Amino acid sequence: METTMKSPNSLHARRRRDLSSFSSAGSGTPDRPSYSPTNSTYTSSSSYSKSNSEKNPVKIAARTFAGAFIACFSPPEKVETNSNNSLSSLSHSADAPSDASAGSGNERRRSGIYTTSNKSTRTKEPEIVKFSVDEIYKATKNFSPSLKIGQGGFGTVYKARLQDGNLVAIKRAKKSVHDKNSGAEFRTEVRTLEKVEHLNLVKLYGYLEQGDERIIVVEYVPNGTLREHLDCVDGNILGFAARLDIAIDVAHAVTYLHMYIDHPIIHRDIKSSNILLTENLRAKVADFGFAKLAANTEAGETHVSTQVKGTAGYLDPEYLQTYQLTEKSDVYSFGVLLVELVTGRRPIETKHEYKERITVRWAMKKFTEGDAILTMDPRLERSAAANLAIEKILELALQCLAPTRRSRPSMRKSAELLWSIRKDYRELLASDHSSDSESSNTTIREE
């Protein structure tokens, strides 16, 4: 059982609130943008020093791809002026539900979060906790390899049970990368996570920064990553309806980050291995290590200029070219994710023949040629309802993958379109089933 799941009623209430906050106005389909195969694989930067995440072998490998694809980019029509927006400007809290009721916990959260005491200061209600070294050592059995569940650019991830019985994932930063940048990445993750509260986002329990230990403690999500499910690592095929639900969950989570907190957050690393699944196959978006505060539009800012970070195959080509980050970079990555959900393929498939290697390029070409169905994951069950939904999902993906950000829909608009796709899918599926059972009843009667 998940430790931080709310009661079904409160989940439903939350979901209803999420749904009601989206209007159906203006949900017409934008003009179909022409597709230009610009998805690339790049994690380099302009004049910035390399961060820890860039020491990740996957991300270093990504840089190798960059040379191959960067040449495809056409220059943007207009290069906008840089604006400075640093994390140090982050001082206000989100109006997330937990903050509204946190009281003294909030004060503690806002005050110097990088000091620790030997005793944690938890109260009964879940809130951001400063863990002690002893607690973390105890929970992880001195970082026992038997409790290790993953390894990422940030460090090692352990599954642990806290004294209060909650199951958590404990992310321990690599010692070898304890330099200035890893500290910045750590603080980014903590400061970002502590401000968010959404059913489809991995929840932060607490953190520890003491000496050379940097640790964050987050909700444990028990059912692996979306990528593992698409790869059928447990032998089960992730069904089409579940994939559609997951797409909607992710769209909700990212819409929340972009629109429903005080200062919008750009996730910057939306990808299938950062989507964790619950036992009920609901999605929780994880890994805020790269997250960045979005531009302050009220102050007239249109973007944040930043070091390019992200993962090969998911990176917005306009961001790669201009270093200008907006929410639409997440929309681009979401477009890649949609194609992954439909095809089951990874964004870069080195084992496929050349023309199929960049999955979005291959899938979008098929779609624009009227062959969307040929991109469908061959392991998925075929039906008229799924065929129609795939057509529409790829149409949305095409919009999300538009080379320029102004042609891409917002995350909220993407979520709205996905709801309508799911509604049609369910209705068509139900009418298919009822006509199937009618015809089988007819057959029985005839016999």
Ligand X SMILES: Nc1ncnc2c1ncn2[C@@H]1O[C@H](COP(=O)(O)OP(=O)(O)OP(=O)(O)O)[C@@H](O)[C@H]1O
Q: How many angstroms separate the Cα of 200 from the Cα of each of 23, 64, 276, 285, 434?
A: 20, 33, 9, 6, 33
For ligand X, which residue of 131, 154, 205, 256 counts as binding (CB under 6 A)?
A: 154
Q: Is 169 in the site for ligand X (CB under 6 A)?
A: yes
**Nearer to ligand X by C-beta: 130 or 309?**
309
Q: Is 330 in the site for ligand X (CB under 6 A)?
A: no
Q: Is 96 in the site for ligand X (CB under 6 A)?
A: no
For ligand X, which residue of 152, 242, 301, 388 counts as binding (CB under 6 A)?
A: 152
From the list 84-92, 118-126, 148-156, 345-353, the region that binds ligand X by CB under 6 A is 148-156
Catalytic annotation, residues: 269
256's tokens:
């929340």
For ligand X, which residue of 162, 254, 286, 376 counts as binding (CB under 6 A)?
A: 286
Tell me, by CB under 6 A, how many residues bind ligand X: 24
Site string for ligand X, 34-73 (x = CB under 6 A): -------------------x--x-x---------------
Site string for ligand X, 224-253 (x = CB under 6 A): -x----------------------------
DSSP states along 298-356: GGT---EE------TT-B-HHHHHH-EE-HHHHHHHHHHHHHHHHH---SB-TTS-GGG
CB of 60 to ligand X, least distance (A): 11
Q: In 3D, which of 195, 410, 413 has the Cα closest to residue 288? A: 195
For ligand X, which residue of 287, 316, 340, 416 counts as binding (CB under 6 A)?
A: 287
CA atoms within 13 Å, Cβ hemisphere of 17: 12
Q: Is 139 in the site for ligand X (CB under 6 A)?
A: no
Contacts to ligand X from residues 200-219, by CB under 6 A: 202, 218-219
* Residue count (the chain): 447
3-state SS assignment for residue 415: helix
Binding residues: 175
Contacts to ligand X from residues 261-280, by CB under 6 A: 269, 273-274, 276
The answer to whether 227 and 272 have CB atoms below 8 angstroms apart is yes
**Nearer to ligand X by C-beta: 76 or 222?**
222
The answer to whether 166 and 3 have CB atoms below 8 angstroms apart is yes
Chain centroid offset of residue 281 CA: 15
Q: How many angstroms separate the Cα of 234 from the Cα of each of 145, 228, 239, 376?
A: 22, 8, 14, 21
Q: Is 333 in the site for ligand X (CB under 6 A)?
A: no
Binding residues for ATP: 175
CB of 381 to ligand X, least distance (A): 27
With left for phi above 0 and alpha for psi between -120 and 50, is residue 196 left, alpha or beta? beta
The answer to whether 185 and 49 have CB atoms below 8 angstroms apart is no
CB of 325 to ligand X, least distance (A): 17
List contacts with ligand X (CB under 6 A).
53, 56, 58, 149-154, 157, 169, 171, 202, 218-221, 225, 269, 273-274, 276, 286-287
